[in-house]
Amino acid sequence: MKTLTTWSVLFFIFGYSLVVCSELPSPENVTLDTLNTNYVLKWNWDEDNIKRITFTTQYLPKFKITKPKHKQNWKSACGVTFKHICDFTAVQLHYYGVWLLRVRAQSGKLVSNWVQIEFCPDRDAQLGPPSRVDVTPVNGHLQVSITDPMTNTNISMRELLPNLSYLTQYWEHLSQTQKPKSLLHQSNLVILPELASWTWYCIRVQSHETFYNKTSVFSPTYCLQTDGPVPSWQIFLYFLLSLVLCFLFVVALGYGFYKLFTVVKNTLYPAVPLPAHIHQYLCISTSSDMPHLLTTELEVEHCCDRLDVISKPAVTDIILEIHTSTEDSGLGPEHSNAPHTRHSSGDSGVYSTVEDSGSDKSAPQNWVQEVKLQTVNRGILTREPGDKEAGQEQDLCITETILT
């Protein structure tokens, strides 16, 4: 009897607890927004039920759910929060694992039931588009360079998805009827074939994973023009345009120099002359603070060589030895052959005939008269007074005969 009563009390308490706990509604529309390795859990809650409400989120590997509850070890992701969202990215869920995520509402002692979902990142996570797409024209084609989508730790998704590939679509710009062409490839670098030269094309790229057949949204659309050989008419047009530009540049440069020369000329040499009285006043004024007009007459430069004047040395004294002639003195012919000497006076040009006094010592008639010249001027010699012909002017070449 006691045993039955005890079980009845326990059943009543357990049933009452279930009724109290189930009074708080559970979160609704629990979903998971994913992109590569970013996972965000979201849910809805009717605000009209209870204004002051909190939420608790937890996660657990699925293989532990078979263990007893005290060994399951559920871990909290965002703790207790008032938001209707919880980011599981920081938890670093293993990409190939299977996880259980759950959330419940709580208000004081009132709690709701857990809402649980199963999540496998490799199977359920959305694949993102390429991180970057670069398009470059190369020899009439378009080269597309693709950067892999990245994880939240900035690692390429190709490390998690070895079969990652890309679907590249391209079409001619402004073409309404042309169907886009598609090219599926695993390489990050591809050259689009069958393109026309000097034509605009638009390109977009999509990531693709073959195992679970996951595809991403398309990347932004890029439009670019292809290149190719330059047409001959275009080369001629460029050449003609360059000639026109060069001609205009030369004309503009010449016109600029002409205007500059005109301005300088009109400034320095004005076309309208100044009045005569003003021009005369400015040119004649000697005041240091008075401006002077520039004259057009050129100063003549006289170039002269240096001239050194050397004075002629004056001759003051000349001594002449005068000998008597053999014809006048009656001397013998032996004296006529006596040598004559000339004594030059340097620059004066005076010379004399001199007989060697030592040639004939026995002739007493031969004597030497010394004449001292006082003045020599223009080749004329004057003897001193007292001589036999004092004051008489003689030529520079003098021969005087004196008879004893």
Token pair for 391: 């004051």
* Residue 301 belongs to some domain of the structure: no
Residue 140: its pLDDT value, please? 86
Q: Do both 56 and 159 map to the same domain? A: no
Report the SS3 class of residue 19: helix
Band of residue 371 on the pLDDT scale cut at 50, 70, 90: very low
Q: Is residue 369 part of a domain?
A: yes
What is the tens place of the pLDDT at every residue in 307-322? 666 766 655 555 555 5
* Partners of 54 in beta bridges: 106
- The token duo for 280 is 């005369």
Confidence of residue 280 (pLDDT cuts 50, 70, 90): confident
Q: Residues near 354 by Cβ (< 8 Å), separated by ≥ 6?
A: 321, 323, 340, 341, 342, 343
* Residues 7, 48 within the same domain: yes
Query: Over 80: is that where the pLDDT of 63 sits?
Result: yes
Position 287 scores a pLDDT of 54
Q: Are residues 140 and 251 in the same domain?
A: no
3 state DSSP class of 310? coil
Q: Is residue 389 part of a domain?
A: yes
Query: Containing domain of residue 376, as a range?
Result: 319-357+365-394
pLDDT over 90 at 349, yes or no:
no
- 235 shares a domain with 213: no
pLDDT of 51 over the 50 cut: yes
pLDDT at 72: 86
Cβ atoms 98, 118 nearer than 8 A = yes
Same-domain status, 385 and 349: yes
47 is written with which tokens?
């605000």
List of residues 6+ apart from 148 with CB closer than 8 A: 130, 131, 156, 157, 158, 164, 188
Helix (H, G, I), strand (E, B) or coil at 363: coil
Is the pLDDT assigned to residue 232 strictly greater than 70? Answer: yes
Alpha carbons within 13 A on the beta-carbon side of 92 = 1
Structure tokens at 167: 């679907």
Do 26 and 82 fall into the same domain? Answer: yes
For 179-310, strand residue ranges (E) read: 181-185, 189-192, 200-209, 214-218, 222-225
End-of-domain residue from the set 91, 124, 157: 124
According to the model, what pLDDT value does residue 158 have?
95
CB atoms within 10 A of CB 243: 10
**Shortest CA distance to 76 belongs to which of 50, 109, 51, 101?**
101
Boundary-marking domain end, from 225, 245, 278: 225
Residue that wins the pLDDT comparison between 59 and 234? 59
Kindly state whether residues 104 and 157 are assigned to the same domain: no
Q: Are both 206 and 242 inside the same structural domain?
A: no
| Proportion of the chain above pLDDT 90, given as a percent | 44
* 3-state SS assignment for residue 124: helix
Q: Is residue 287 part of a domain?
A: no
* Last residue within a domain, chosen from 172, 206, 225: 225
| 107 and 148 in a common domain | no
Q: CB count, 10 Å around CB of 170? A: 25
Note whether residue 300 is domain-resident: no
pLDDT in tens, 177-188: 778 999 999 999
Task: Tell me, yes or no, whether 9 and 120 share the same domain.
Answer: yes
User: pLDDT of 99-156, one tens digit each?
Assistant: 999 999 998 888 999 999 999 999 999 999 999 999 999 988 999 999 999 999 999 9
pLDDT at 346 over 60: no
| Local confidence band at 342 (pLDDT 50, 70, 90 cut-offs) | very low
pLDDT at 275: 77
CA dihedral 270, 275, 277, 280 (to 10 degrees): 20
Residue 299 within a domain:
no
Q: Is 316 left (phi over 0), alpha (psi -120 to 50) or beta?
A: alpha
Band of pLDDT at residue 299, cut at 50, 70 and 90: low
117 and 20 co-located in one domain = yes
Residue 18 lies in a domain: yes
pLDDT in tens, 204-226: 999 999 999 999 999 999 999 99
119 and 10, same domain (yes or no): yes
Q: Could you tell me the CATH number of the domain that includes residue 81?
A: 2.60.40.10
**336-356 average pLDDT score:** 44
Question: The tokens 């990050």 sit on which residue?
Answer: 188
pLDDT surpasses 80 at 388: no
Task: State residue 233's pLDDT score.
Answer: 86
Structure tokens at 230: 């330059």
In the chain, how many domains are there? Answer: 4
Q: How confident is the model at residue 231 (pLDDT cuts 50, 70, 90)?
A: confident
| Mean pLDDT within 153-182 | 91
- Please give the structure tokens belonging to residue 344: 């030059």
> How far from 109 is each of 20, 28, 105, 134, 389, CA to CA, in Å?
9, 20, 11, 57, 177
The rounded distance, in Å, linking the Cα atoms of 281 and 134 is 82
Give the predicted TM-score (pTM) of the model.
0.54
275: in domain:
no
